[in-house]
Amino acid sequence: MVGPVRPQFVLFGSSIVQLSFCNGGWGAILADVYARKADILLRGYYGWNSRRALEVLDHVFPKDDSNPPSLIITYFGGNDSMGPHPSGLGPHVPLPEFIDNMRKIATHLKSLSDSTRLIFLTCPPVDEERVNKNRSQYLSHLVRTNELCQTYSEACIKLCQELDVKVVDLFTAFQRRDNWKTDCFTDGIHLSAEGSKIVVAEILKVLKEAEWKPSLHWKSMPTEFSDDSPYDLVAADGKTTLNPSEWTFHRAIQWD
């Protein structure tokens, strides 16, 4: 353990989560935004579906943890929504089972503590043309369509409304951007830096608007060790110091 203890924000999901700290990913951006405010913990598993998530749920989020997460951002559905393989193998999960799995995940996460907050992310769209072009000699043909993505996305939204869980509609958010197919993905499925910026903006919007107490929006959270100090940088007047604890000028985007 490393002290002092900060609020923990856990990113839980499949490859869009596992890859969120590379190439300007949304996890890395959140880690910067919440520097000295919260620890961003990564629990991402490439290729996983909601079935596999249920298998490890008690291991990743044990109910007897004395320091439960303050926030869990969960993403599954992209792999579940893939078309079924004739062999019965692969990540596809039928829609009714996907909904039931996500309900079980939400119920478990809610039970961790009264103060643990949840945000679910829906399936983003895919660039179908690029997905079909980028065929691998090592993989069977991937059946990924926006019709399937939309169906699973809408089901996730409906479930979250039923369970009173905050949800980010990535399927819609991505398509608000011009040239989203070329700008938002590295391969038609996984997120580019531009795609990750959309994810961050949508998450921060939810956090800002949520009426949670305490607020988990970064501007409302205390900054660790932020007291003024004579060891801070000396100001231009040569007599005082400047406290850099809240400086954000290094960011290319000034996040709200």
Q: Order the strands of the 117-121 sheet from edge to edge.
A: 39-44, 8-13, 71-75, 117-121, 166-168
Distance CA 51, CA 60 (A): 14
Catalytic residue among 14, 20, 50, 81: 14
Alpha carbon distance, N-terminus to C-terminus of the chain: 31
Region for 32 from its dihedrals, namely left if φ exceeds 0, alpha if ψ lies in -120 to 50, beta otherwise: alpha
β-pairing, 39-44 vs 71-75, is unpaired
Whether 190 is catalytic is yes
Catalytic residue among 58, 65, 187, 256: 187
Whether 87 is catalytic is no
The torsion defined by the Cα of 213, 67, 217 and 105, in degrees rounded to 10, comes to: -90
Half-sphere exposure of 113 (CA within 13 A, CB side): 15
Distance CA 162, CA 108 (A): 15
Closest CA to 124 of 189, 200, 29, 205: 189
Distance CA 96, CA 225 (A): 48
Please give the chain's pLDDT, 256 residues, in tens. 788 899 999 999 999 999 999 999 999 999 999 999 999 999 999 999 999 999 999 999 999 898 999 999 999 999 999 999 989 899 999 999 999 999 999 999 999 999 999 999 999 999 999 988 877 777 777 789 999 999 999 999 999 999 999 999 999 999 999 999 999 999 999 999 999 999 999 999 999 999 999 999 999 999 999 999 999 999 999 999 999 999 999 999 999 9
Q: Residue 214: is the preceding peptide bond cis (ω within 30°)?
A: yes
